[in-house]
Amino acid sequence: MSTESRPLNGLLVVDKPGREDLIPIPMQEFITTRPARSNPLNLFTSHDIVARVRRWSGQQRIGHTGTLDPLASGLLLLCLGSATRLVEYYQHQPKRYRAVITLGGVTDTYDAAGRLLERFALPALARDDIERALAPLRGVVEQQAPRFSAIKQEGKTLYRLARRGETVEPPTRTVTFSTIDLLSFTPPDRVTLRVECSAGAYIRSLAHDLGVALNTGAYLQALRRETVGAFTLAEAHSLESIEAAGRAGQIDALLLPPGDRLPLPRHHLDQEALRRLGFGQIVVLPHTACEAERSLAAAVDDAGALVGIMRRLNAAEAQPGWCWKAEKWLQ
């Protein structure tokens, strides 16, 4: 339990543990030893990470900016306290992953944590075969989410419906894979990729689609998230270090300020403008201070601290400029 006596507000970059370091489970063991439950390897879900940080910090207001599957490891960005109001602005950032894919089988979850549904005899494949199969998967594509996913249909998450054996038709969404680099192919069945993609893209579905293109079946064996927007693993904290900081009452030393690297234009405003925005009033900023194509901006004080998010309304009538109003206020 944390000894923190003051509220914690800020961003915490976590290095979530996963199963990247585990020895791949042989195909036959998928059938004979894997129990049919949601987290058979007792790995951490993103919710598990949030729950632990709540306990260690004493701060109950915590949200994450993008789910990592139990199998996956890597960067999980948490917002604490007043920073939870910023989750929606952080969660739509592009992400980069290192993905290990196993050819020769299909699982119900599209990853190694699921149950094996079908095995395929593997042909003699070369690196060029993998490259050709990857080519149509790059760029802007229509991707179907896995049946076991956190997407909601009629208010219910798909993975809960799938676990109950109900028929699930996952939605198809437009996503962007800006980069899919083939790092290595180790015959007969191991493919390693580096992937840069938009928010909402499923690497599990990418692995499955690669198996369809090769006619070999495929599932995600391991996944590590390396970046979220401008945040990198180099600044991430392990669960052990976060727990130790919590016991020492020093989690605040691990936090980044609310709004750090927020992907919005920043406008430095004087105290009077900030006061008016905080009371729900409209302020006018000159055209030269605003990006015409952006309707949202970060309002910061003289010290550079984020005070809130403001929305552009329309052109001012009495003077040149745009009218702005507070959308989310932290102070």
Active site residue ranges: 69
**Residues near 290 by beta carbon (within 8 Å), at least 6 away in sequence:** 265, 267, 297, 312, 321, 322
CB neighbour list of residue 216: distance below 8 Å, 6 or more residues apart: 103, 104, 120, 122, 123, 125
Upstream peptide bond of 35 is cis (omega within 30 degrees of 0): no
Give the amino acid at 235.
E
What is the token pair recorded at 68? Answer: 């990592």
SS3 content of the chain, % helix, strand, coil (to 5): 25, 35, 40
Rounded to whole angstroms, the Cα distance separating 321 from 318 reads 9
Distance of CA 191 to the CA centre of its chain: 22
Q: Is 37 exposed, middle or buried (0-12, 13-18, 19+ CB in 10 A)?
A: exposed
Per-residue tokens: 238: 């392990």
